[in-house]
Amino acid sequence: MAIYKTAIKNPVTTMLVFVAVMIIGLFCFVQLPVDQFPEMDPPYVMVMTTYPGASASEIETNVSKIMENSLTSVDNLKYINSTSKDNVSLVVLELEWGCDITEAVNDVRSFCDMAKNQLPDGCSSPMVFKFSSSTMPICQYSITADESYAALDKILNDEVIPQLNKINGIGNLSVSGAPDRYVYVDIDQQKLDAYGISLEQVGQVISANNLNLSSGTVKMEKEQYQMQVRSEFIESSEINDLMVTITPQGQQVFVRDIATVRDTIKDLSLDEKTNGREAARLIVAKQSGSNTVQVCEDVQEELAKIQKQLPTDVKIQEIYNSADNIRNSINSLEESVLYALLFVVLVVLFFLGKWRATIIISLTIPISLIVAFIYLKMADSSINIISLCSLSIAIGMVVDDAIVVLENITRHIERGEAPREAAIYATNEVWVSVIATTLVLVAVFVPLTMMDGMAGIMFESLGWIVTVVCCTSTVIAITLTPMLCSKLLKARKVRIENGKLIDEEATTKTWYDRTVVAFLDKVDAAYAKSLGWCLRHKALTIIALFVFFAASLLPFIMGKVGTDFMAQQDNARLSVTVELQRGTRIEETVKTARQLEERFMLLVPEIQMISTSAGSNDDDGTGAIFSTTMNNTISMTIRCNKKWERERTIWQIAEVLRQELAQYPEIIEYQANISSGGPGGGNTVDVEIYGYDFDITNQMAQQIIALTKELPGARDVYSDRDDDRPEIKILVDKEKASRHGLTSATISSYLRNRVNGMAVGFLKEDGDEYDILVRLKEENRNSISDVLDFSIPTPMGQTIKLSEICSVDEYWAPPKIVRKSRQRIVTVKVTPYETSLGELAQAIQTQVLPQIDKPAGYSIRLAGAYEDQQESFGKLGMLGALILILVYIVMASQFESFSNPGIIMFTVPFALSGVILALWITGVSLDMIGALGIVLLVGIVVKNGIVLVDYINLMRERGYELNEAIQMSGQSRMRPVLMTAFTTILGMVPMAVSQGEGAEMWRPLGIVVIGGLTVATFLTLYIVPVVYGAISKKGERDKLKKVRENFIFMDIDVKDCEDLRSKE
Amino acid sequence: MKSIMIIFNQANTERVEYMLDMLEIRGFTFFEDVQGRGSKNGEPRRGTHAWPEMNSCVITIVPDEKAPLLLEAVKKLDKRNEEVGVRAFMWNIEATV
């Protein structure tokens, strides 16, 4: 028995099956994590190798090149980049999106093992890292303090972090900028010389007096005791009273005589301030797979509790919380989905005019959408922008099938059939074609799941969700909808009067009949009239439509429609990077930072918080290689109020800041980036310059920068190659040194002890250890002459001055060497402002690059987000072609005809016209999401054509003359076509006009679909019938004649035959 | 004894069955899914794309006195909704075994 019959005959089962589906769906919905994007691991693997003592160029030739050469054979490799800095080589492998990172890491590891033997001695083994989404911070807090600032590190590590660690799903917690406690022993060089002692001696004395040692066991009568010498410092002041030496005169020299002991916080190298107050930054990451929003909320809650236990001057302030972002964008999308639902229901109500029918149709929406959550749960995905957006796309389509079924059932009921039978037999008539139209949608959306690259990850879930939802809606349309129709729809009310049957409905006209139906009838009639005219003037109509098509392409050809990779989002966050003159002292940098903060606050009242860090953490932790801040750089994270609370957009604010930054002479470079939060990172056009010679490439880069800065939409133009860094080179005279019994190694360690400090153990307190550092006091190591004046002990027991064996040279060295695809590279990055990425790239391509001299062996290419854009557009283009072919195949097999799908395909170019016009009018540029919209349009617009052509075919089969059939079909199918088009268009409207957070991302999709579908729908109503008429002229018009040719036996003259036979 | 063949749109199945029950006609033979088209202006019932609807057919052998009642009922059903369609044809039964 057919499925719809079973459904109608077992209404209880049918209903309960769907109730069960909904309950399971809601259950999954509650359990689903909420996140911004689907889980996607960025496909980067990094290999870090340290080679102590080597300069950047040595690292490049001896380490980076070797690693690059062996790592190029890693599978799925897209690009290989390397950065060579002093002591460190970092090779970054960019793999194809969506490949198995674990596999790749293993691969990389084995290649590293192979390369290990070729690396120079003294090189560490290469370390392999991978990025994963769990390493990305999900929220950051700034912790400010006044009096308690010195103890902030202890407060954070003892009170805050342990409590936060208890939160379920929390990942790494790290603190930056918290003051470390240090015990400094600052020694006076002159006093050392006066007493004839060396710095190392002082250090040895301190460490020799700071120990706990076991000295064996002592047996006393019946008992046995462990004996221990205990002399660890309890307080730092004890150091003062240690005796260093006795002078020949018998005078004791204590530490206090030659040094100052400071128990303090670490000397300034990284300055963290929030709104100008002393601050540390707490960075929270989550475990992979845990619920971002939940973790952020828990952290917030826990911090609120912790706050009460902390000293009153310690304030915890949020710098950035991805949960807010996610929640806002998810909320705004949820709102869009609800509005879409409302609009769709209103459209259905308008066209059908019956609340029962509207309820039946509307029920399909929640059920189909809820099934998406079951899919998401099974696919281990999350509720994110992509999945919600997919629902928003699907919402207008899920009602289509149910509408077709319901319409046919209503037609049967209006003929006077009983609802139950009408439901069965009406569904029987349409269920095959309902499934066929769904197949068209499947042909559009399933290929989306086959894309690779980053777009593949984003569109995979979109493809599956829309497919699952549409298939569910079809199942609902042929089971639940007929069942509900059989129960809810009423047969036409009739009564018998004087033995005659009287239809009550036919005699009474409702308000709806008088207004809406009358209006729709008028529209029908007008359409039929105009269609009739077009059918009589086919050539003229077709020419007119093609002129329209060609004209609509003009804005695109003339470059009025820009292209982007991903629309930038205004999520109220800005990051400002400022670079001062190289070698600027950290203290000077901090001064500028304070000044900037003050000005920014004044200029932009929208700013709620500025969190600034200046300088760098000079720890040698692995984190240090990723941070780019140095003594002369300031990086600021600025948070403004939400975009609906202010008039200026974040881009305008960034522009204000840029103009301010341009006025400072000490600032040599600045950028104001809008952190978009989306995948794919920045929205820049990168000009990559490949070539070996630094001077030549630098010159080319400077030329490009100078020319690009003149382009109207170019902002934040900078080269990623850092300027040369001033260095002081100590040149050891080996002969003199060896005469004193010194080697370069010992000299360098002595130098390090004097400048950087000699670690001589720890001060222990409450289980924490604090470094004790012995070094020369600051005034003794502040200039080159001071350095030359360092006293160095010789093995013979004398002290000599450094100037005796060394000379000092100042020079400039490149701080790092960047390579890409095994070539040295400089990248000039350009951010578009009030223009699109594509236009900016075009301008650079045509106006800047031809003016650059390119010596042989040097090459320039455009990359960055522009390259990603080109790549994804290419892929989407391929996908579009694939979808066109698949849709054609599905339609051709549905109609059993080669020409009919061709007729329907005529609507696709007009969809493009609509897209271009819509983008041109709104001024939105076409990005990857918009391009996706175009691809989807192919499937959506042909649906209208199918409805129309199918009906024309039907009418022709029923024996109507061609033009009559076309006109009749047009008139009768206009309402369903308009209805399904309006449900889809209005379903997209909330997405296109939403002002919520993250809405920028989906706006192009909404605009593209609305524009394309509107134009395509109205033109479908003309172009399809007219082209049908034109094409059918020869072949099918005289159907009867053709049929007769197949059955000529009817022309046999029987009488003649009989006569012939009788003669024989 | 008369044989009456009722050919009707499937959508009328329940009403035809009700009719037979009301007239206390017990015996019948039911043919499901039969095709056909009316002689004057009856819409074809072919189960095709153009004419998707289908008919069913009931043949019942009734005593002479019930035959007019049944025909009358069919007439009423046809009046109820002519578009859906029902027809009845009657002929004599010569013998039964």
Q: Return the structure tokens found at A448.
A: 């989306």
| CA distance to partner chain B, nearest, from residue A894 (Å) | 11
Within 10 A of B79 (CB to CB), how many other CB atoms are there? 12
**Chain A residues with a Cβ under 8 Å from any Cβ in chain B:** 412, 415-418, 420-422, 425, 428-429, 494, 501, 953-954, 957-958
Q: Are A950 and A1051 in contact (CB under 8 A)?
A: no
A415·B84 Cβ contact <8 A:
yes
Cα–Cα distances (Å) from A946 to A527, A844, A969, in that order, read: 19, 45, 12
The pLDDT, as a whole number, for residue A752 is: 81
- Give the pLDDT confidence of A231-249 residue by residue, as tens digits: 888 888 888 888 888 888 8
Q: In this predicted structure, what is the pLDDT of residue A682?
A: 64
Contact: A425, B51; criterion CB under 8 Å: no
The helix or strand, by DSSP H or E, that contains position A265, with its residue range, turns out to be strand A259-265
Position A680 scores a pLDDT of: 46
The shortest CB-CB distance from B83 to any of A415, A421, A494 is to A415
pLDDT at A1021 over 50: yes
Top residue of B79, B84, B86 to mutate, by most chain A CBs within 10 Å, is: B84
Give the pLDDT confidence score for residue A11 in this predicted structure. Answer: 93
Locate the chain A residue with the closest alpha carbon to B15: A418
The yes-or-no verdict on residue A23 having pLDDT over 90 is yes
Q: Give the DSSP H/E element, type plus range, for residue A880.
A: helix A865-895
**Could you read off the pLDDT of A807-861 as tens digits, one per residue?**
888 777 777 888 888 888 888 888 888 788 888 888 888 888 888 888 888 888 8
B13 CA to chain A: closest CA distance, Å? 8
pLDDT digits (tens, 9 = 90+) for A713-729: 888 888 887 777 667 77
DSSP secondary structure code for residue A63 in this structure: I
Of B13, B53, B81, the CB nearest to A429: B53
CB A384 within 8 A of CB A37: yes
Contact: B50, A415; criterion CB under 8 Å:
no
Q: How far is CA A378 from CA A471, A542, A829, A833, A846, in A?
A: 17, 50, 42, 42, 50
For position A133, what pLDDT does the model report? 65
Name chain A contacts of B77, Cβ cutoff 8 Å.
none
For range A723-752, the mean pLDDT: 82
**Does B14 contact A428 at a Cβ distance shorter than 8 Å?**
no
For the cut 60, the answer to whether the pLDDT of residue A264 exceeds it is yes
Search chain B and give the residue with CA nearest A494.
B80
Q: How far is CA A1020 from the centre of its chain?
A: 37
H helices of A415-452, where? Answer: 419-445
Question: Is A635:A611 a contact under the CB 8 Å cutoff?
Answer: no
Backbone φ, ψ for residue B81 (5° rounding): -155, 100
Q: What is the pLDDT of residues A547-588, one digit of tens each?
A: 999 998 888 888 777 777 777 777 777 888 888 877 677 778
Averaged pLDDT, A81-99: 85
**Residue B81 is nearest to which of A416, A429, A958, comparing CB atoms?**
A416
Give the minimum alpha-carbon distance from B80 to chain A in angstroms, rounded to a whole number.
7
Residues 6+ positions from A1058 with CB-CB distance below 8 Å:
none
Q: Which pLDDT value is given to residue A929?
A: 84
- Say which amino acid occupies A414: E
What does chain B come to in residues?
97
Decide if pLDDT at A162 tops 80.
Answer: yes
Chain A residues lying within 8 Å of B54, measured CB to CB? 425
Q: What is the ipTM of this complex?
A: 0.85
Q: Give the β-pairing of A799-801 and A768-776.
A: unpaired
pLDDT of residue A1033: 60
C-beta atoms surrounding A215 within 10 Å: 9
Asked if A445 and A340 touch (Cβ cutoff 8 Å), the reply is no
Residue A614 has pLDDT above 90, yes or no: no
- What is the least distance, in Å, from the CA of B73 to any CA of chain A? 14
Q: Are A299 and A167 in contact (CB under 8 A)?
A: yes
Give the separation between CA A786 and CA A800, rounded to whole angstroms. 14
SS3 A728: strand
Q: 3-class secondary structure for A607-666?
A: EEEEEEEEECCCCCCCHHHHCCCCCCEEEEEEEECCHHHCCCCHHHHHHHHHHHHCCCCC
CB–CB of B11 and A501 under 8 A?
A: no
Query: Under a CB-based contact definition with an 8 Å cutoff, are residues A48 and A397 in contact?
Result: no
* Contact criterion met (CB below 8 Å) for A434 and A474: yes
Per DSSP bridges, beta strands A816-820 and A823-832 are: antiparallel
- Give the Cβ contact number of residue A169 at 10 Å: 16
Instruction: Give the DSSP letter string of A362-416.
Output: HHHHHHHHHHHHHHHHHTT--B-HHHHHHHHHHHHHHHHHHHHHHHHHHHHHHTT
- Contact partners, residue A830, CB within 8 Å, separation at least 6: A684, A685, A686, A687, A708, A714, A715, A716, A717, A840, A844
Scan for tokens 């074609």, then name that residue. A433
* Whether A86 contacts A60, CB under 8 Å: no
Please state the three-class secondary structure of A886-927 as a single string.
HHHHHHHHHHCCCHHHHHHHCHHHHHHHHHHHHHHHHCCCEC
Q: Taking 80 as the threshold, does the pLDDT of residue A178 lie above it? A: no
| Binary contact (A417, B80; C-beta < 8 A) | no
Taking contacts as CB-CB distances below 8 angstroms, the residues of chain B near A418 are 11, 14-15
> Cβ contact (<8 Å) for A957 and B15?
no
Distances A460 to A40, A581, A625 between C-alpha atoms, Å: 12, 48, 35
Nearest chain A residue to B10 by CA distance is A425
Could you give the CA distance from residue A670 to residue A709 in angstroms, rounded to a whole number? 13
A482 vs A477: CA distance, rounded Å: 7
Distance CA A70, CA A84 (A): 16
Compute the nearest-CA separation of A425 from chain B (Å).
Answer: 7
Is residue A38 classed as helix, strand or coil in its secondary structure? coil
Q: Which three-class secondary structure string do you get for A323-337?
A: HHHHHHHHHHHHHHH
CB-CB under 8 Å, B15 with A958 = no
Check whether A399 has a pLDDT greater than 50.
yes
Cα separations (Å) of A608 from A602, A641, A655, A671? 12, 6, 18, 20
Measured in whole angstroms, the distance separating CA A86 from the mean position of its chain's CA atoms is: 33
- CB of A712 closer than 8 Å to CB of A835: yes
Do A457 and A928 meet the contact criterion of CB atoms below 8 Å apart? no
B75 touches chain A (CB under 8 A): no
Parallel/antiparallel/unpaired status of strands A768-776 and A181-187: parallel
Assign A849 to helix, strand or coil: helix
Work out the minimum CA distance from B71 to partner chain A, whole angstroms: 17
Q: Is B51 on the interface with A (CB under 8 A)?
A: yes
Whether B11 sits inside 8 A of A957 (CB atoms) is: no
Beta-carbon separation of B11 and A412 below 8 A: yes
Between the CA of residue A935 and those of A6, A98, A628, A929, A1005, what are the distances in Å?
38, 22, 41, 10, 10
How big is the CA angle at A425 (ends A423 and A430), to the nearest 5 degrees? 90
- Would you call B12 and A417 a contact, using CB atoms and an 8 Å cutoff? yes
- What mean pLDDT is reported for chain A? 84
pLDDT at A479 over 60: yes
Amino acid identity, residue A397? M
Distance from CA of B17 to the nearest CA of A (A): 13
3-state helix, strand, coil in chain A (%, to 5): 55, 20, 25
Q: Distance of CA A203 to CAs A194, A750, A761, A777, Å?
A: 17, 12, 9, 14
Q: Tell me the residues of chain B between 9 and 48 that have a Cβ less than 8 Å away from chain A.
A: 10-15, 48
The answer to whether A501 contacts B80, with C-beta atoms less than 8 Å apart, is yes
Under 8 Å CB pairs connecting chains A and B tally to 41
Nearest chain B residue to A422, by CA: B11
Chain A residues whose CB is inside 8 A of the B12 CB are 417, 421
B71 touches chain A (CB under 8 A): no
Question: Distance between CA A298 and CA A170 in Å, rounded?
Answer: 9
* Distance (Å, whole) CA A342 – CA A334: 12
Report the gap between the CA of A500 and the closest CA in chain B (Å).
Answer: 9
Asked if residue A491 has pLDDT above 90, the reply is: no
Phi, psi of A491 (to 5 degrees): -65, 160
Question: Residue A732: enclosing H or E segment and its boundaries?
Answer: strand A725-732
- pTM value? 0.80
Give the gyration radius of chain B's Cα atoms: 13
Residues of chain B contacting residue A420, judged by C-beta atoms under 8 Å apart: 14
CA atoms of A286 and A138, how far apart (whole Å): 7
With pLDDT > 70 as the criterion, what percentage of chain A qualifies? Answer: 95
pLDDT at A990 over 90: no
Name chain B contacts of A425, Cβ cutoff 8 Å. 10-11, 53-54
Cα A800 to Cα A124, A732, A804: the distances in Å are 35, 14, 7
Provide the pLDDT for residue A627: 41
Q: Locate tokens 């769990």: which residue?
A: A134
Quick check: B50 contacting A, CB < 8 Å?
A: yes
**pLDDT tops 80 at residue A440:** yes
From chain A, the residues in CB contact with B15 under 8 A are: 418
Which residues lie closer than 8 Å to A1061 by C-beta, 6 or more apart? none
Exposed (0-12), middle (13-18) or buried (19+): which is A874, by Cβ within 10 Å? Answer: exposed
